[in-house]
Amino acid sequence: MDGQEGFVEHIASKAEDFSQWYTDVILKSELADYAPVRGCMVIRPYGYGLWENMQAHLDARIKATGHRNAYFPLFIPESFLRREAQHVEGFAPEVAWVTRAGSEDLAEPLVVRPTSETVIGYMYSKWIKSWRDLPVLINQWANVVRWEKTTRLFLRTSEFLWQEGHTCHRTAEEAEEETLRMLEVYRSFLTEDLAIPVIAGRKTEKEKFAGAVRTYSVEALMTDGRALQAGTSHNLGQNFAKVFDITFLDQDDELRHVWQTSWGVSTRLIGGIIMVHGDERGLALPPRVAPTQVVIVPIMPPAARETVLAVARDIQARLTKVSRVDLDAREEYSPGWKFNEWELKGVPVRLEVGPRDIKAGHVVLVRRDTGEKTTASMDGLEQAVRDLLKAVQDGLYSRAKRFMDENTHRVSDYDEFKAVMETKRGFVYAPWCGNQGCEAVIKEETGATIRCIPLAESPRPGACIRCGSRSNLWVYLAKAY
């Protein structure tokens, strides 16, 4: 088996059948499996370990910006959901209900939370009395349920895990600052920890969260050319404050409604990691969040078995101090089998050690992103591994960034735009007149939606890609998940 083709015969080709490849990778790498309930999945230990590492990094960033964690209940009274008109309209179609307990019908039906603005708003109205109580900066890690019509592992499941932050502020300006602050937290988390480059921007009226005044998002580009909304941050204004009567007595003795935000990212990000970094051989996990960062594969001919194992265990002990390291000493699998297995699982660095290496006083290091093999001296191995993990993290980011840049198209007219969406897809960066009619027609005719109005760009005159009207508004468009 020395040809490229034979390496990963157990998963579909990414180039030929992206969707099947995506599903195969998840199942075969043991990130997750289908549950007996329609649309639900089991996050297996390998996938959950990945999620825990993602949580740890993001949680630290959330706490570093002054927030604390709490936990609110799974069940929400039906009446709560109905109080905010846009909110109920947005979520009602996908809400799961509890109407009975044991053999008794409930006096008031409960919904299983699709998001927690309402129940948290209710609690905030009890807790907040004075301007001195503000801001309230609370986050929760939880599960939510949205009964989607069709589902996909990690990207869209009936139940998913996420964090949702819910804050209250004294002024509109503070709320807007908070909304943008958390968008930046997501941007840096995605780029620095997950090695996923993103476009940060504002959603259009049509695409914003049900009940928000303004929604911001970070948008990532998958390697099949479709965009993924990777995180959202909403400025809720006083919409929920008014219906839940969240008021405070201000310094000037005036009773005022608070200004709120909410923001979240979910296990959907795992789907993003797979589709941004994965390749024909399977997963490629960013070292910062990989459950296993280094796997040691000992080469153990019977005669050298004890010697090699002793060295491998010693290396494992040393590397444990600088990384998450596993030793794969299973005897029922050949080294070649293990190489493929760990590549499928996306482990960033593989360390091979056998009789030849021991004699030479070095080990073989192989990086997952490029497949590049190097040798590293036994002396200073810790530093070499640390450097290599950093290099893989950076390598994954640069590769993804280059892909996003190369697949962000400037088009000169509407026909070219349509052609791009039909062939290579990717982002299209173009002026838009701001008219919802144009937005709808674009979606109808090209399948692309306005992903966001970027924050970073400075406006300059252009002609709307659809109608030709003069506009300073440049937007990113793409087919989205």
Q: In this structure, what token pair is assigned to residue 94?
A: 């996908």
Asked if residue 1 binds RNA (CB under 7 A), the reply is: yes
CB of 108 to RNA, least distance (A): 25
Determine how β-strand 408-410 pairs with β-strand 427-431.
Answer: parallel
User: In this chain, which stretch among 71-79, 118-126, 355-363, 390-398 interacts with RNA, using CB under 7 A?
Assistant: 355-363
User: Do the Cβ atoms of 354 and 304 come closer than 8 Å?
Assistant: yes
Residues 6-35 contacting RNA, CB under 7 A: 6-10, 18-20, 22-23, 34
Return the number of the residue (7 or 72) whose C-beta is nearest RNA. Answer: 7
Between CA 368 and CA 284 the distance in angstroms is 7
CB of 391 to RNA, least distance (A): 17
Asked if residue 108 binds RNA (CB under 7 A), the reply is: no
Complete edge-to-edge strand list for the sheet that includes strand 362-367: 325-327, 294-298, 349-353, 362-367, 373-377
What x-and-dash track marks residues 327-346 binding RNA by CB under 7 A? ----xxxxxxx-xxx-xx--
Q: Backbone phi, then psi, for 209, in 5-degree steps? A: -65, 145
Residues 247-286 contacting RNA, CB under 7 A: 264, 266-268, 281
CB of 462 to RNA, least distance (A): 25
Q: In this structure, what token pair is assigned to residue 466?
A: 């659809």
List 84, 117, 178, 352, residue binding RNA (CB under 7 A): 352
CB of 252 to RNA, least distance (A): 37
Asked if residue 176 binds RNA (CB under 7 A), the reply is: no
Between CA 88 and CA 38 the distance in angstroms is 24
Q: How many residues make contact with RNA (CB under 7 A)?
A: 74
User: Do the Cβ atoms of 143 and 161 come closer than 8 Å?
Assistant: yes
Burial class (CB in 10 A: 0-12, 13-18, 19+), 133: middle
Q: Which H or E element spans position 203?
A: none
Complete edge-to-edge strand list for the sheet that includes strand 96-101: 75-77, 104-112, 96-101
What x-and-dash track marks residues 291-330 binding RNA by CB under 7 A? --------xxxx--x-------------------------
Return the number of the residue (276 or 300) whose C-beta is nearest RNA. Answer: 300
Residues 447-466 contacting RNA, CB under 7 A: 447
- Give, in order, the Cα–Cα distances in Å from 118 to each of 136, 145, 215, 244, 422: 15, 15, 17, 8, 41
List 124, 263, 474, 481, residue binding RNA (CB under 7 A): 481
User: In this chain, which stretch among 191-199, 287-295, 352-360, 470-478 interacts with RNA, using CB under 7 A?
Assistant: 352-360
Q: Which of 159, 161, 163 is nearest to 35 (CA)?
A: 159
Residues 194-253 contacting RNA, CB under 7 A: 207, 209-210, 217, 229, 232
Residues 39-78 contacting RNA, CB under 7 A: 39
User: In this chain, which stretch among 150-158, 175-183, 255-263, 320-328 interacts with RNA, using CB under 7 A?
Assistant: 150-158
List 200, 275, 364, 392, residue binding RNA (CB under 7 A): 364
Asked if residue 369 binds RNA (CB under 7 A), the reply is: no
Q: Which residue has the tokens 């990777």?
A: 230
